[in-house]
Amino acid sequence: MAKWGMVIDLNKCVGCQACTAACSQENTRLPGENWQDVLYYAEGQNLTWLPRPCMHCENPSCMHVCPTKATYKTEDGVVAIDWDKCIGCKYCMIACPYGVRFYSDTKPLIAPDVRGAFPGDGKRSWAPPYRLPEQFEDAKHGVGVSPSGVVSKCTFCYHKISKAPKGTADLDEDNPATKEHTPACVRTCPAKARYFGDLDNPQSRVNQLIRDRGGVRLLDQTGNKPQVYYLTGVGGSVPSSRAKQA
Amino acid sequence: MSAQLNAPGRLNGPVLAMGLAGLVVGIAITIASLMYSGHAAFNTTNDGVSWGLPVAVYVFFVLASTGLTFVASLAMVFGMREYYPIAKRCVWLAAATLIAGFASLAFELGHPFRMLWAIPLSFQISSAMNWMGLFYTLYLVFLLLKFSRMHAGDWDSGASRNLGLASFLTVIVAHGTLGLVFGMMAMRPFWYDGLMPIYFLATAFLSGLALAVFITHLAYGFSTQNMPARIAALLAGALPRVFAFALGLVILFVAFRTITGLWSNADGLEAFHWMVRSPWFWIEAAALIVAFYILMSPGMREAARPQTVASVLVLAAIAIGRYEFVIGGQVVPLFKGTWVPGLIEYVPSLTEWMIALAAISLALALYAFGEKALDLGAEPKAG
Amino acid sequence: MDILKTQITRRRFLQASGAAGAAGTGLSTLKLGSIPEAKAQGTAGGGAYTITKNICHQCPARCGIDVYTMDGKVHALYGNTDHPIANGKLCPKGPIGTYILYDPDRFKQPMKRTNPKKGRDEDPKFVPISWNEALDTVATRLNALRDKGESHRFMLAYGRGWGASCAGLLGAFGELYGSPNVPIGHSSMCSDGSVLSKQAVDGNASYNSYDYRNSNYLLIFGAAFLEAFRPYNNNIQVWGHIRGEKSPKTRVTMVDVRMSQTAAAADRALLLRPGTDGALALAIAHVILTEGLWDRAFVGDFRDGRNRFKTGQSVEVSVFSEKWVKGLIEWWNIELKDRTPRWAAGVTTLAEHDIVEVAREFGTTRPAIALFERGAHTHSNGVPTGMAIHTLNALVGSLFAKGGLAYQMGPSYGPMPVKADDYKDGYAKEGPWKKFPRVDLKGHDDGYPLAKNMLQEIARNHLAGKPYKLDTAMFYLTNPIFSGLNVREWEEALKEIFVIDTSPFPGETAWMADLVLPDHTYLERLQDAPTYPFQGFPIAQLRVPAVKPLYDTKYFGDTLIEIGKRMKGPMGEYYKAIGNSENVIRHIAKGFEKDPGDNGVNSFETWKEKGVWYKKPYMWQQRSGEFYEWDGGGYNRKMAPTEVKEKLLKTESGRFEIRSGYLEKKADWIAAKTGRAKDKLAFPHWEEPKYTGGGDLHLITPKMAIHAEGRSANLPVAISLYQPGTGGRTQTLAEIHPSVAKAKGIRDGDRIKLKSSAGEIPAIARITELTRPDVVVLPFGHGHWAHGRWAKGRGSHVDAIIAQQSDRISGMANYYSARVSVEKA
């Protein structure tokens, strides 16, 4: 099976938030529920930005703390949430070093609450007409509009990638065969700064980029080992400090 | 003997009434609020403070319960017979506070009832929270069984002793795993500490001692004249001294932890600066120090009123401390960039306060019921 | 809590449907209820989704999109892979289109005002009416005006007109009806400063098309390349290529007044005093000439090859032989010889060495593009500034060159079903309306003879009765009462005028309207749109309805045609012959039969299927000082100078006129109205900008990346992503430098007031070093007082405090000349 991973090229990313908007649309997110988020940082006049999806870590601390195993890792390397098992204790939100998780029952960021305009139907905490169609929803993998009282996060667009033919090395929007299987953020990125593929396939483009451009992982010292890699400079960039685990 | 109990007892009625009233008000407002706006009635948000006041209340109560059992165990497990006179009262209050803690947590969860089948059927062994839940549940069972033995007059049969031991051991494990729930979080330096269970144990013991002193005085109308001799002796003898010792230890813990956090530059420890910027921290510190002074002063240590004041100060300080602890570990945002430019601002909402009120009231009501009907002053016959 | 949730959802459903019941009978608060769904919820989603083609509506770029629909509901928008601008991608504005379609505050049918009083706080008390009644009301009114000989008092103003089937119909309507004010475009509030600047020097009244992909240097003045400059989506694609893949990597210098994304991502950011871009451009030109960096093949050279450009020293005109420029030496002598980097540093507050380095980089890297937009030209000195910047392109030979900039070809549309000229009656040909100027005084010596439009002053003109008072005004895709300058004048003016709004949304104009004839939103429309200037080759894209209209709305093109049909006389016949907007589109598509697109589109049906017709390449190229036309295989056919004049450098001389003949023709008028020196005004020259409003800080109101042309203020997701650089996620924030904050005792998050001569607005302060100490940055787009439940009352209405000042030549509204004072509220 694949071990899905993502590469984000910070040299090309312009911080436009198209990825965030596409994810919000594809996955019917509430305002502020940025499964994919572009985070800006300004120190003095130094303005930088960082697109931040879920890292889908190899050693996810969120999974280890979930009391009901609602958060688990699929065979193809995706960290998923089973909404039928989630009790909403939010321990996973505490345990994630990257702040990628969202609880479905919080005060709305924007008032009046959008959910008031599109009330839920019991199964979903809100039900707008533009939501992800039912046949793509997948509560066992946390895909679609979540019910109330559970945690949600980026799914690597599992409803798309899980339909890719086995053995596909890369999911690229420019390849007609894989366009519909490509995660929304990767597909729409106008700068083509995002890549998605199989980290277990040495020939995949993601591995090639990591190798050639020195891909790094965020907060490597936590040991979570994200499956999302960032490309920064060509020579000089933050070294990956983790020794290989046995 | 038990006849001496309830002699004043005049405070039980009001306490019970207060408890029930608070419970009703608290629960009513909470439920109305949750029905109207779901969890949006809470002020916890996706910025990073996910565990708010209800969790701090939970921690306060279950650690209070832990401490009370510890105090009772001085007699039940460690054979220090001078603690027997207050043991039954401590055990009952331990049960009451534990139930209150659970109630606070239940309102906090997204799907509390699902927990009842999902955890047993899909138990994540690496989750400290699971072990905490399991052991606190086992502890409650053992505790109530022990209480029923005590109530039946069976204080030290083999079975009774084993139940006492089981209660003690399970609560040690339970509070320990509660400590690990926080202490295992390597990405949150404010909490990350393998010794967090020890910190919890010390503060739990302290809150148990404070509560033991307080409820004993409450039961006897805040005057030693109404007390049975053995209780009076305990309150003039070992108890305040152990109390002082535990308080001194906790003061050191708090001081060194705070100093370390303020000194270090590491990311995440800005929370300590947040903590000391609040007047509540200084109220907490002052309360702890004043209480310590009282308990170290020969003149005040053994007197009822100063003891009561000291216990109230300590309980207030611990309550503040629990809140600081739970919130402090979350105020530094993780990867929110300019969306949250400083520290996350959180104050509990009305609903969250109502949950706290409901939990406190539940504890009070249960306790007062026990005081009224369950002869909490009973002790094993001498000899 | 799960059990409680079922209670909540039932409760909320009752609330929502209760509101819907109230809204159906009357719009007391313009709050509309729930969206009707095509099918019941819980349909086991059978069947695949369909993809239809459409064009994103959220900016002028006109990216082709694929619309994913299932069970009659649109659930996703992605870029059309085969569209040359979108290439399968979208910027952040693209995906929010689904929220626009399902905006719960949309009008559901035509509305009639029943409250005679108008104002911000006056509820119009709309009642729903039928389309027949609505259209009859308009026609009756227009016919009556015409019968009285006052047809000139009907104005139709439009903003983002798309193509032949909507805005394209307006010219004929105006001519047949008899009003010079149909249509009046918004371009004076948009970007005419650049259009007029280019017209003055190279004869093309247009935006440029650009060949960024092959360019090695971008010098960007006041154009937010990575935040707003269109086509934004394609800009980002190009950026990824030229900065991340292309060898050699394209160098970028950004000239702006704040540390924006583009400034941060560029190789160099030059943050200068607002309104001084012209000084920088002149200094760069100075260095290019003194250091001999100009492109001799295009510009020409000294006859003996010796460079005589020396600071402060005049040059004899005759010693230089000009190729494709005119007036270079005169320019040097009268203006440029003293415009040194040191001088520019003083004016702009930039460092002298930065200016010299940029000039050398720009001058030695080929091909290089100097581009600019509103940041540079929305000032009182906008036209000379624009001319100066655009002249840099001439100096380095980028005009019409590979890796340079050119202009845009139009699509091969077929003719309309009938010709308007055949339906003009006597009134249309010679009626009293012909004696009246346009109400915006475009083309009039008392007004703006050289401007294309002058929309922002119409309210003022109406209130003064000069040239006359309007009777009826109709608005299509424009909302100047919110986005104009001196907006209070618009409020007063619209109180007196019979207002017809066509927006789908209850905006400020609708609030002041007597009639609302709501348009479809774009995903419900069949609508054409030729491309905005892009890479030069012609493109025409098409909107195909993805769903049946959700409500009883009507496409504007059809609204206009239906009104037309009800007009008396031959005008009515014209519109009956036109039929409807679909007929118009079918007719223009016939043009593709003879000129099929590169993707095979050669008919209406294939156009609908593919969504876009285009034909590469751009037909002309300049190379080493010669112009060539595409011959089918390459740019091989050399063009004669007369052809160059006819098609490319459309000036009197057929060359790039640094000394603008176009301006010289009106020199007397320009000198009289602007005070500019007659001998200098035809050249790019430095002029100190005139700021407005009083106050000590420049108010800069940029466009944010997710600002969707007038429609994002009511979209919660857009609001939550609006101002990421400084964390504005529930409303816009006023970005203030720490030194300013300290001086005024303002802390981060404080409520503040921004005051100018035009008014006062509240704001929330964000302290940041990303802005210059003399600038406060407050993005536009929020501060609505209508427009929907999320828009109303959120953020700061910046246009309310920008005083009216318009460029006398271009008519350009000087948004960025504003100055304000800031204090704690």
What tens digit of pLDDT does each residue of C392-450 get?
A: 999 999 999 999 999 999 999 999 999 999 999 999 999 999 999 999 999 999 999 99
Return the CA Rg of chain C.
27
Give B162: exposed, middle or buried? Use CB within 10 Å, 0-12, 13-18, 19+. Answer: middle
* pLDDT of C32 higher than 70: no
Give the integer Cα–Cα distance in Å for C107 and C111. Answer: 8
> Which residue is closest to B123 within chain A, CA to CA?
A68
pLDDT tens column, B196-232: 999 999 999 999 999 999 999 988 888 778 788 889 9
End-to-end Cα separation, chain B, in angstroms: 14
pLDDT tens column, B289-298: 999 999 999 9
- Do residue A69 and residue B187 have CB atoms under 8 angstroms apart? no
Bridge-based pairing of strands C154-158 and C184-185 is: parallel
Q: In which element (H, E) is residue A5 found? A: strand A4-9
Give the integer Cα–Cα distance in Å for C787 and C510. Answer: 9
Side chain identity at residue A59, one-letter code = N
Q: How far is CA C64 from the centre of its chain?
A: 18
φ, ψ of residue C442 to 5 degrees: the values are -70, 140
Q: Is C810 helix (H, G, I), strand (E, B) or coil?
A: coil
The angle formed by the CA atoms of residues B8, B12 and B15, to the nearest 5 degrees, is 140
> What integer pLDDT is reported at residue C710 of this predicted model?
80
Give the integer Cα–Cα distance in Å for B299 and B307. Answer: 11
φ, ψ of residue C51 to 5 degrees: the values are -120, 125
Number of CB pairs, chain A paired with chain C, less than 8 A apart: 214
pLDDT tens column, C246-297: 999 999 999 999 999 999 999 999 999 999 999 999 999 999 999 999 999 9
Give the integer Cα–Cα distance in Å for C710 and A196. Answer: 35
Alpha-carbon distance B30 to nearest alpha carbon in chain C (angstroms)? 12
**Could you tell me what percent of chain C has a pLDDT over 70?**
94
> What integer pLDDT is reported at residue B25 of this predicted model?
80
Mutation target for A interface from C3, C30, C78: give the one with most A CBs within 10 A. C78
Q: Is C155 helix (H, G, I), strand (E, B) or coil?
A: strand
pTM: 0.93
Give the integer Cα–Cα distance in Å for C449 and C666. Answer: 9
User: Six-digit token pair at C196?
Assistant: 């007029």
Cβ–Cβ contact B40 with C under 8 A? no
ipTM score for this prediction: 0.95
Q: Is B119 helix (H, G, I), strand (E, B) or coil?
A: helix
Residue C339: closest CA among C356, C325, C324, C322: C356
Q: Is C394 helix (H, G, I), strand (E, B) or coil?
A: helix
Q: In which element (H, E) is residue C98 found? A: helix C97-101
> What integer pLDDT is reported at residue A241 of this predicted model?
42
Q: In which element (H, E) is residue C285 found? A: helix C277-290
* pLDDT of C30 higher than 80: no
Confidence of residue C763 (pLDDT cuts 50, 70, 90): very high
Instruction: Give B34's contacts in chain C (Cβ within 8 Å).
Output: 1, 4
Give the integer Cα–Cα distance in Å for C441 and C150. Answer: 17
Average pLDDT, chain C: 93
Give the integer Cα–Cα distance in Å for B103 and B58. Answer: 8
Candidate from B46, B186, B339 with C-beta closest to A222: B186
- Do residue B107 and residue C1 have CB atoms under 8 angstroms apart? yes
Beta bridge partners of C128: C111
Side chain identity at residue C825, one-letter code = A
- Do residue C8 and residue B37 have CB atoms under 8 angstroms apart? yes
CB C214 within 8 A of CB C406: no
> What integer pLDDT is reported at residue B363 of this predicted model?
92
Torsion angle, alpha carbons of C667, C668, C674, C675, to 10: 110
* pLDDT of C9 higher than 60: no
Confidence of residue C14 (pLDDT cuts 50, 70, 90): very low
Beta bridge partners of A47: A42
CB C776 within 8 A of CB C700: yes
Residue whose pair of structure tokens reads 């790094």 in the numeric block: A216
Alpha-carbon distance A244 to nearest alpha carbon in chain C (angstroms)? 31
- Do residue B334 and residue A96 have CB atoms under 8 angstroms apart? yes
Q: Is C663 helix (H, G, I), strand (E, B) or coil?
A: helix
> What integer pLDDT is reported at residue B218 of this predicted model?
87
> Which residue is closest to C246 within chain A, CA to CA?
A12
Give the integer Cα–Cα distance in Å for C107 and A4. Answer: 45
Report the side by side order of strands in the sheet with C73-79: C50-55, C64-70, C73-79
DSSP string of C231-266, one letter each residue:
SHHHHHHHHHHHHHT-SSPPEEEEEESB--HHHHHS
Cβ–Cβ contact A132 with C under 8 A? yes
Tell me if the bond preceding C231 is cis, omega within 30° of 0: yes
Give the integer Cα–Cα distance in Å for B142 and C790. Answer: 55
Cβ–Cβ contact B337 with C under 8 A? yes
Listed in sequence order, the residues at least 6 apart from C87 whose beta carbon sits closer than 8 Å to its beta carbon are C79, C81, C234, C237
Residues 699-758 of C with CB under 8 A from A: 705-706, 716-717, 719-721, 724-727, 729-730
Mutation target for A interface from B36, B45, B50: give the one with most A CBs within 10 A. B50
Confidence of residue C23 (pLDDT cuts 50, 70, 90): very low
**Cβ count within 10 A of residue B40:** 19
Give the integer Cα–Cα distance in Å for A37 and A100. Answer: 8
- Do residue C16 and residue A117 have CB atoms under 8 angstroms apart? yes
Cβ–Cβ contact C669 with A under 8 A? no
Helix-, strand-, coil-residue percentages of chain B, each rounded to 5: 75, 0, 25
* pLDDT of A117 higher than 60: yes
pLDDT tens column, C293-302: 999 999 999 9
> What integer pLDDT is reported at residue C273 of this predicted model?
98
Side chain identity at residue C681, one-letter code = L
Instruction: Give C11's contacts in chain B (Cβ within 8 Å).
Output: 35-36
Residue C174: closest CA among C185, C159, C163: C185
Give the integer Cα–Cα distance in Å for C159 and A56. Answer: 46
- Do residue A32 and residue B336 have CB atoms under 8 angstroms apart? no
Side chain identity at residue B327, one-letter code = I
End-to-end Cα separation, chain A, in angstroms: 21
* pLDDT of B1 higher than 50: no
Listed in sequence order, the residues at least 6 apart from B167 whose beta carbon sits closer than 8 Å to its beta carbon are B69, B73, B76, B91, B139, B142, B143, B146
- Do residue A103 and residue B44 have CB atoms under 8 angstroms apart? yes
User: Six-digit token pair at C96?
Assistant: 């929010």
Confidence of residue A236 (pLDDT cuts 50, 70, 90): low
Confidence of residue A238 (pLDDT cuts 50, 70, 90): low
User: Six-digit token pair at C769?
Assistant: 């070093």
* pLDDT of C43 higher than 60: no
Candidate from C16, C706, C720 with C-beta closest to A32: C720
* pLDDT of C237 higher than 60: yes
Beta bridge partners of C368: C217
Beta bridge partners of C498: C472
* pLDDT of C384 higher than 70: yes
Domain ranges of chain B: 11-43+350-372, 44-346
Give the integer Cα–Cα distance in Å for B293 and B248. Answer: 10
> What integer pLDDT is reported at residue C186 of this predicted model?
95
Give the integer Cα–Cα distance in Å for C223 and C263. Answer: 10
Fold (CATH) for B44-346: Formate dehydrogenase/DMSO reductase fold (1.20.1630)
pLDDT tens column, C595-622: 999 999 999 999 999 999 999 999 999 9
Residues 32-51 of A with CB under 8 A from B: 32-33, 37-42, 49-50
Instruction: Give A100's contacts in chain B (Cβ within 8 Å).
Output: 335
Which stretches of C72-170 are assigned E, i.e. beta strand?
Answer: 73-79, 111-112, 127-128, 154-158
* pLDDT of C33 higher than 60: no
End-to-end Cα separation, chain C, in angstroms: 41
Confidence of residue B382 (pLDDT cuts 50, 70, 90): low
Which stretches of A172-227 are assigned E, i.e. beta strand?
Answer: 194-198
Buried b (16+ CB within 10 A) or exposed e, C781-798: bbbbbbbbbbbbebbbbb
Q: In which element (H, E) is residue C397 found? A: none
- Do residue C5 and residue B38 have CB atoms under 8 angstroms apart? yes
> What integer pLDDT is reported at residue B11 of this predicted model?
67
Cβ–Cβ contact B338 with A under 8 A? yes
Q: Is B368 helix (H, G, I), strand (E, B) or coil?
A: helix
Cβ–Cβ contact B124 with C under 8 A? no
